[in-house]
Chains A and B, each alone.
Chain A
Amino acid sequence: DTAVSQTPKYLVTQMGNDKSIKCEQNLGHDTMYWYKQDSKKFLKIMFSYNNKELIINETVPNRFSPKSPDKAHLNLHINSLELGDSAVYFCASSQLRGGGVETQYFGPGTRLLVL
């Protein structure tokens, strides 16, 4: 069974459209994350939810809105897609313990291409 899964794996869409990416984890973790990997492979955190509460909200355009219906799911909705949104989006999860020892487990990524 896949620990952290994302759908879809590939997403090709037109500028201006609205799209969603879904993430689910079956590890029983209490914290989930969204990361963006740009064309140069640089990874940066976007959001993090702990027990359905937003705890990290990086400087991300308001067009990006995360939603966590429960601890096992974290979705990312993107409005009015722009060319610069083209990237690979990774979901991750961990059990937050505050000592920095927790490991984040990553999903396979969603490759978004905006035309």
Chain B
Amino acid sequence: GDSVTQMEGPVTLSEEAFLTINCTYTATGYPSLFWYVQYPGEGLQLLLKATKADDKGSNKGFEATYRKETTSFHLEKGSVQVSDSAVYFCALIRADRGSTLGRLYFGRGTQLTVWP
């Protein structure tokens, strides 16, 4: 079945450090890939997305490239800030006909803490 695997956290970094959170997926068909972020006590917000192979999603300094050959969608940021402390979720939706439309599959989330 469809699934998303994220690196386990927590991840603890100093401000201005480089961030990578690994995400790989398993899906039949052609999924769209997403990164959502959940700040403490809040709901999920879409951070970025990519809908086809080699697409790069970017937002707020975060980037992720849809790699079909490695079935990956790793999240990166060159210089993290304290305000980036949150839980990050990788997710996929299958895009092909015959799949159950709108079903988002989430990874287990990665807690990021950034220290000043």
Interface residues of A (CB under 8 A from B): 4, 31, 33, 35, 40-45, 48, 50, 55-56, 90, 92, 94, 96, 98-109
How many interface residues does B have (CB within 8 Å)? 29
Interface residues of B (CB under 8 A from A): 30-32, 34, 36, 38, 42-46, 49, 51, 87, 89, 93-97, 100-104, 106, 108-109, 111
Residues of A within 8 A of B51 (CB): 99-101
Residues of B within 8 A of A48 (CB): 102-103
CA distance A70 to B29 in the complex (A): 32
Is the beta-carbon distance between B108 and A42 smaller than 8 angstroms? yes
Smallest CB-CB separation from B32: which chain A residue?
Answer: A100
Smallest CB-CB separation from A9: which chain B residue?
Answer: B41
Residues of A within 8 A of B46 (CB): 103-105
CA distance A56 to B46 in the complex (A): 22
Q: Contacts A100-B30, A106-B44, A107-B43 known; A33 to B102 CB distance under 8 Å? A: yes
6 A–B contacts, CB within 8 A, in A order: A45-B103, A55-B101, A96-B101, A99-B32, A100-B95, A106-B44
CA distance A102 to B34 in the complex (A): 11
Is the beta-carbon distance between A55 and B100 smaller than 8 angstroms? yes
CA distance A104 to B94 in the complex (A): 13
Is the beta-carbon distance between B32 and A90 smaller than 8 angstroms? no
Residues of A within 8 A of B100 (CB): 55-56
CA distance A115 to B30 in the complex (A): 43
Is the beta-carbon distance between A90 and B102 smaller than 8 angstroms? no
From B30, B101, B102, B108, A40 is in contact (CB under 8 Å) with B108
CA distance A88 to B66 in the complex (A): 30
Is the beta-carbon distance between A56 and B49 smaller than 8 angstroms? no
Q: Closest CB-CB distance, A64 to chain B, in whole Å?
A: 17
From B34, B36, B44, B95, A99 is in contact (CB under 8 Å) with B95
Is the beta-carbon distance between A43 and B43 smaller than 8 angstroms? no
CA distance A50 to B100 in the complex (A): 12
Q: Contacts A56-B102, A106-B43, A108-B42 known; A101 to B32 CB distance under 8 Å? A: yes
CA distance A56 to B30 in the complex (A): 20
CA distance A99 to B101 in the complex (A): 9
Q: Closest CB-CB distance, A43 to chain B, in whole Å?
A: 4
